[in-house]
């Protein structure tokens, strides 16, 4: 007797595919921050996500498409972390709180769940336009978030300070991760945090 296997409910299949897609993007978002764009391969991502290599093209047209979506996820996670940091603090303490969280040893030691600008910023210029567009949008969002912490938000001075602040934050974290002397790494973060806190007041 031949048994006819009925197709699973289309909604169930769609939900399973969506869950797999989310898992791939989540794994890739951590991988690009940990290993860089060039160090993030499809085979490794699919293996870490618990899926076959062949299933990749059911989710993405290309590796570049995956990287763009993963970059977007990494940026969204970073922006959400910054927003969460200031959600329950007095407005006058918001910028100081962002600086303390961003320029911290915990952030220094956990690149794969931290800011993608510091993790892969130097590689971004060589990526496809979709990845660069994601990075550009995130930078503009972070500049806006920082500018909104200024008493003179909306004025050119607040925007300029935000540009300097984001540049210093990312640069300090990138350099702190680059050096092989822990004391120097912490000094880079401490000096930048103190300077930025000072000019904010």
Q: CB neighbours (10 Å) of residue 24? A: 24
Confidence of residue 13 (pLDDT cuts 50, 70, 90): confident
What is the overall mean pLDDT for the chain?
A: 91
- The CATH superfamily of 62-200 is Tetracycline Repressor, domain 2 (1.10.357.10)
Which tens digit of pLDDT belongs to each residue from 177-194?
999 999 999 999 999 999
Q: Where are the domains of the chain?
A: 62-200
Q: Which residues contact 170 (CB under 8 A, 6 or more apart)?
A: 115, 117, 118, 121
Confidence of residue 1 (pLDDT cuts 50, 70, 90): very low
Q: Which residues contact 151 (CB under 8 A, 6 or more apart)?
A: none
Q: What is the pTM of this model?
A: 0.86
Which tens digit of pLDDT belongs to each residue from 155-178?
889 999 999 999 999 999 999 999
Say if residue 8's pLDDT is above 80.
Answer: no
The rounded distance, in Å, linking the Cα atoms of 148 and 37 is 31
Q: CB neighbours (10 Å) of residue 57? A: 10
* pLDDT of the residue at 9: 67
Exposure pattern of 169-197 as b/e (b: 16+ CB <10 Å)?
bbebbbebbeeeeeeebeebbeebbeebe
Mean pLDDT of 93-105: 94
* pLDDT of the residue at 174: 96
Of the candidates 56, 183, 83, 75, the one whose C-alpha atom is nearest the C-alpha of residue 121 is 75
Mean pLDDT of 23-35: 96
The rounded distance, in Å, linking the Cα atoms of 28 and 41 is 9
* pLDDT of the residue at 103: 97
Mean pLDDT of 8-32: 88
């Amino acid at each position: 007797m031949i048994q006819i296997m009925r197709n699973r409910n289309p909604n169930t299949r769609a939900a399973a595919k969506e869950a797999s897609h989310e898992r791939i993007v989540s794994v890739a978002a951590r991988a690009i921050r940990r290993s860089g764009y060039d160090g993030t391969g499809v085979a490794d991502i699919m293996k870490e996500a618990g899926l076959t290599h062949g299933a990749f093209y059911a989710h993405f047209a290309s590796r570049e498409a995956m990287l763009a979506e993963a970059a977007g996820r990494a940026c969204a996670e970073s922006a959400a972390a910054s927003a969460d940091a200031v959600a329950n603090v007095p407005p006058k303490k918001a910028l100081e709180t962002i600086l303390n969280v961003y320029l911290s040893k915990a952030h220094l030691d956990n690149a794969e769940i931290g800011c993608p600008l510091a993790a892969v910023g130097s590689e971004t210029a060589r990526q496809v336009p979709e990845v660069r567009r994601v990075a550009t949008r995130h930078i503009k969002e972070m500049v806006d978030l920082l500018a909104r912490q200024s008493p003179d938000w909306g004025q050119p001075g607040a925007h300029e300070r935000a540009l300097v602040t984001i540049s210093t934050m990312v640069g300090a974290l990138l350099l702190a991760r680059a050096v092989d002397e822990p004391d120097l790494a912490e000094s880079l973060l401490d000096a930048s945090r103190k300077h930025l806190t000072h000019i904010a007041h």
